[in-house]
Chain A
Amino acid sequence: MNAHPIEQLSEYVDDELSPRERARIQAHLSECPQCARLVDDLRAVVAAAESVEDTPPARDLWPAIEGRLEPRSGRPSVVPIGTRRGPRRFSFSLPQLAAASIAIALLSAGAVWMAIRDGGATLGPTASAPRSEEPITGAVEEPLSGAGAETAPALTVADRGAAVDDEYEAAVAELERLLDEAAIDPELRKAIDENLAVIDDAIHQTRRALEEDPDDVYLNTHLASTMQRKIDVLQDAARLARAST
């Protein structure tokens, strides 16, 4: 089997390869489950990103998430699809793919925040999340591609993915804070904390391994899936905490 054609996979997904290159990639995918899975992941990320922007979340949900995804430059984080798409719509390096898939998980985590808040808990700012000046309630008043978006520079999912590490930590902190506020059974909370520690240890080990080999396909996908697992556990714990009170 040839080396993994990582750099060409996003172009393959975007259908931007020559017929000859496309055939070469297809031949590789037929015998490389790892790259085939990466292509599946890429398509899932693209589909999820398009879905998110085509169907804006309610305003009360979005600010907390948007704040976490907003680039540090202060540029608007959401622009119309039509203006955002350039010749290469989605271009990922491997670590960016991992990060982008986690970004989608963070969007999913937002649903839990909303559910918790609807159940009576409040959603406060975190250290790294911009504070919203408006109450996080009310109906959608305008599309996400609000004023200023038309002239904003194009941002891709990969742009968001590049900054997702801090956002991931902020999301985890927020979900943990919600758990702290919930009247959850101490024994159950202890079990959840122990499991989170198990996941943290796995994440730590994988990060250290990636320092030695940053482009390793397995390590990158393993890190992404383990980080997503932590979000999943926190989401479930927050949901169950609400159900049990």
Chain B
Amino acid sequence: MQLRTILMTAAACMAAAGAARGQQAVQMDRTVDVQPGTRLQLDNHFGDVTIRTWDRSAVRVQGSHPIGTTIDVQSGGSLLQIDADRPGGPTNPVTYTLTVPADMPIEVEVIQGDVDVAGTRAGMDIQSVHGSITVVGGADMVAVESVQGMIKVTGARGRVNATSVNQGIELTDIRGDVQAEAVNGPIHMRGIDAGRVSAETVNGSVSYEGSIRNDGWYRFSTHNGGIDLTIPSSAGATFTASTFNGTLHTAFPVTLHEAKEGKEFTFTLGSGGARIELESFNGTMTIRRP
């Protein structure tokens, strides 16, 4: 398909921008029709991004940017690309509010700014170097990554990969496998229905409340922090808990086998089908039932 470039400059809006050139934000608002299956790709150096959904086969782009900045919306084939040309420098903020088809896959990269997505039923890949990421919805593969920002994902129906270096991760009401990694922040998971879960942080606590499938595999690890695991009463699993300076507590009676006194514990519940591994170098590992 012929590449169609729609160039939306701030010039059309300058009259509304007022006399405070370079100071006042310009508003732009444009709607672009898209074919089913089109993927959205947005790069934003500096500024927040908000994405909502509707039932139309079109993408509405609302932007707020300084005078002189140009927002490019390029539609070609199965890709819709949005980027901004910032003659004033990369730190000129551009704030986006997009309305997209609910089944439109999304890729967003932000250097500095928060990303807020809600209502999608598609996969997404969202990165923010310096900003929080909040997602409600999503399907297939929901990949979110932030260096310096909190990550919250709620209601995803598919695999979730969440990575945050310097903040925490909160995953709620997820139906799909989970991989969560942090360095300096906690990982909290609630309402998870997954066959494979892996959550690792270095400095922070880890908590999990969710299903334990008989053929599932669940791994929770931290260096400095506790692990709090809430599992169904009917869960059948083989547990291995390892520590160096920490302890293990179970809120119900189990027949504990200490493979290594005070440092490595194993026990089995019910059928023992699921594999559950807990590792905390310095923290307390707690297993409870609802």
- Chain A residues with CB under 8 Å of chain B are 1, 31-34, 36-37, 185, 187-188, 191-192, 194-195, 198-199, 202, 205-206, 209, 216-219, 222, 225-226, 229, 233, 236-237, 240, 243-244
Contact = CB atoms under 8 A, between A and B. Distances in A.
Given A36-B275, A202-B202, A226-B223, A1 B281 contact: no
Given A33-B240, A202-B281, A222-B281, A195 B184 contact: yes
A206 B281 contact: yes
Interface string B129-160: 11000000000000001011000000000000
Given A198-B183, A218-B279, A236-B145, 15 more contacts: A33-B240, A185-B112, A188-B129, A194-B166, A195-B166, A205-B281, A205-B282, A206-B223, A209-B281, A216-B260, A218-B263, A222-B223, A225-B221, A233-B165, A233-B183
A205 B184 contact: no
A37 B94 CA distance: 47
A217 B109 CA distance: 39
B277 interface: yes
Contact of A198 (B147, B184, B259): B184
A108 B288 CA distance: 39
B70 interface: no
Contacts, number: 100
Contacts of B259: 1
A188 B146 CA distance: 11
Main secondary structure of the interface of B (DSSP, over half): strand
B275 A198 contact: no
Contacts of A225: 200, 221
Contacts of A222: 221, 223, 242, 279, 281
B83 to A, nearest CB: 13
Given A198-B184, A202-B223, A191 B148 contact: yes
B238 interface: yes
A202 B224 contact: yes
17 contacts: A1-B257, A36-B275, A37-B277, A185-B130, A188-B130, A191-B166, A192-B147, A192-B166, A195-B165, A198-B184, A219-B244, A222-B223, A229-B202, A233-B183, A240-B111, A243-B129, A244-B90
Contacts of B266: 1, 31-32
Contacts of B9: none
A218 B17 CA distance: 62
Contacts of B275: 33, 36
A188 B149 CA distance: 11
Contact of B203 (A198, A209, A216, A244): A198
Given A199-B183, A218-B279, A188 B147 contact: yes
Ranked nearest first, the 9 interchain pairs of A and B with the lowest CB-CB distance are A218-B242, A202-B223, A195-B183, A33-B275, A33-B240, A191-B166, A198-B203, A244-B111, A191-B148
Contact of A34 (B165, B223, B277): B277
Contacts of A194: 166, 184
A198 B224 CA distance: 10
Interface in B226-283: 238, 240, 242-244, 257, 259-260, 263-264, 266, 272, 275-277, 279, 281-282
Nearest to B165: A195
